[in-house]
Amino acid sequence: MCVATVGKVVEIRGKRAVCSFRGVLREVSISLVPRVKLGDSVVVHAGFVSEIIKDTNNYYHDLVATDALAGQILDAIKRENTKMHHRHVRLMNFCGSHESTVIRYGLRQLLPENIELVSGPGCPVCVVPNEEIEMGIKLAKSDNVILTVHGDMMRVPTGLGSLEEIRAAGADVRIVYDINEAIQIARECSREVVHFAVGFETTAPATAAAILEAGGISNFSIISSHRVTSPIIQCVLQNCEVDGVIAPGHVAMITGLKPFAELNKQFKIPFAISGFQPIDILHSVLNILIRINEEKPEVFNQYTRVVNSGGNLEAQKKIEQVFTVQDDYLRGFPKLAKSRLVLNRRWSKFDAEKKFNLRLNEKKRGQPDDSFCGAVLQGAMPHQCPHFGTVCTPVNPLGPCMVSQEGPCYASYHNGTP
């Protein structure tokens, strides 16, 4: 009864709020602290918000800086750093949750100055090209269509505006927490329901399972913006100087170690499959440095409590049953071979692109947008954008990196770090 936890307010519903506890959403009461605002970090105890955390930067930084195990790992990192004569080392993460942890807990400030942590294209919302979002916008403007999306998609700006803007203009765009909620909406109405499905291999199995269980439902379909991780990492490593990779633990949870072993063999740099707690990331950094010093560029599975070498075979099977891979673009990237998961022929009745004869604007495919997001997704730091924190803010975002809670610009802005 005496344990409290910290969450971030992502939605307010009268006297209640939806809080994200590192991605897990729970509805809690704000009756004890009615001044709570969207985006506040709050202490939650027994289902009630008890207080707002006033200085989140110091709160999270101190949690790590004063932790005994973190101190031991940081000491070991300093020893390995001395062995390599303090040369510059550049490590890249490929997960939005990793970057959020790095920023929130001030891990860059705790590491030696010569060890550089940079963010890659790990935010699933950020990599979706505008043209795919615009397909959803065009559909949502139809009177007969309900478009369901995850909340982070709502405010991404495109040439046709944002989903939030067209909803304000009368389109029926609804925020859902998962695809099953979208299917339930379709079961309860006669209108067409189209779900905008985003995410990497972590989310794709849930979409596949829902499609397999949808049965004879005829008024439901998806726009699939699911992406495959390996081609994206491969493209970045071919074009960026990186000494080691902090690899996404929840992707590896599904795929197993094989895709990362293949990348490791090609690029001959250490990979650490990492969990998402600050201790996990520091432990991953340490093990990458050890392998650099020992000249053993191996794949290290730091996240053994979740990831096994073969991955989730049932999830892999469902992806293979439902999806096929095609060459396609991501935001800020050229066309990448076998990078997008789309429904295969057997399940084409659930493919909104085919069902509604949607066409992507090929002239715009692969073209840079007006934001700096493409550069940030390939290792540039948010503060290098000339618009960061001035023209581009969470209130007036120029791109998805400032919209999504997994976006590096959003995390940097809200935690007061570059």
Model confidence over 171-208: pLDDT tens digits?
Answer: 999 999 899 999 999 999 999 999 999 999 999 999 99
Whether 245 has a pLDDT exceeding 80, the answer reads yes
**Contact present, 407 and 119 (Cβ < 8 Å):** no
For the chain, what's the residue count?
Answer: 418
User: What integer pLDDT is reported at residue 246 of this predicted model?
Assistant: 98
Calculate mean pLDDT across residues 141-148.
94
152/154 Cα distance (integer angstroms): 6
Whether 418 has a pLDDT exceeding 90, the answer reads no
User: What integer pLDDT is reported at residue 313 of this predicted model?
Assistant: 95
**Contact present, 74 and 86 (Cβ < 8 Å):** no
User: Nearest CA to 280 among 246, 327, 318?
Assistant: 246
User: What integer pLDDT is reported at residue 54 of this predicted model?
Assistant: 76
69/255 Cα distance (integer angstroms): 30
Question: Which two tokens mark 236?
Answer: 């970045």
Confidence tier at 66 by pLDDT (50, 70, 90):
confident
User: What integer pLDDT is reported at residue 258 of this predicted model?
Assistant: 97
User: Nearest CA to 350 among 235, 195, 220, 242?
Assistant: 220
Query: Bigger pLDDT: 136 or 411?
Result: 136
User: What integer pLDDT is reported at residue 217 of this predicted model?
Assistant: 93
**Contact present, 365 and 128 (Cβ < 8 Å):** no
Query: Bigger pLDDT: 14 or 270?
Result: 270
Calculate mean pLDDT across residues 286-303.
97
Whether 235 has a pLDDT exceeding 90, the answer reads yes
* Among the ranges given (216-230, 312-326, 353-367, 402-416), the one the predictor scored with the smallest mean pLDDT: 353-367
Confidence tier at 5 by pLDDT (50, 70, 90):
confident
6/286 Cα distance (integer angstroms): 27
Whether 134 has a pLDDT exceeding 90, the answer reads yes
* Among the ranges given (110-114, 171-175, 375-379), the one the predictor scored with the smallest mean pLDDT: 375-379
45 bridge partner residues: 48
User: What integer pLDDT is reported at residue 56 of this predicted model?
Assistant: 65
Count the neighbouring beta carbons within 10 Å of the beta carbon of residue 418: 12
Count the neighbouring beta carbons within 10 Å of the beta carbon of residue 224: 26
Evaluated on CA atoms 59, 9, 98, 411, the torsion sign reads negative
Calculate mean pLDDT across residues 398-405.
92
Confidence tier at 310 by pLDDT (50, 70, 90):
very high
Whether 390 has a pLDDT exceeding 70, the answer reads yes
56-65 and 278-293 helices, crossing angle to 10°:
50
204-213 and 313-322 helices, crossing angle to 10°:
60
Amino acid present at 300: F
Whether 159 has a pLDDT exceeding 70, the answer reads yes
238/257 Cα distance (integer angstroms): 20
Calculate mean pLDDT across residues 235-251.
96
Confidence tier at 104 by pLDDT (50, 70, 90):
confident
Query: Bigger pLDDT: 411 or 254?
Result: 254
Calculate mean pLDDT across residues 279-306.
96
User: Nearest CA to 245 among 206, 301, 195, 207?
Assistant: 301
Q: In the 3-class helix/strand/coil scheme, how is 247-305 assigned residue by residue?
A: EEHHHHHHHCCHHHHHHHHHHCCCEEEECCCHHHHHHHHHHHHHHHHCCCCCEEECCCC
Query: Bigger pLDDT: 416 or 82?
Result: 82
Sequence-separated (6 or more) residues with CB below 8 Å from residue 126: 96, 331, 373, 377, 399, 400, 401, 404, 406, 407
User: What integer pLDDT is reported at residue 8 of this predicted model?
Assistant: 85
Q: Set out the domains of the chain in order of their start, with CATH numbers.
A: 5-54 (2.30.30.140), 56-418 (3.40.50.11740)
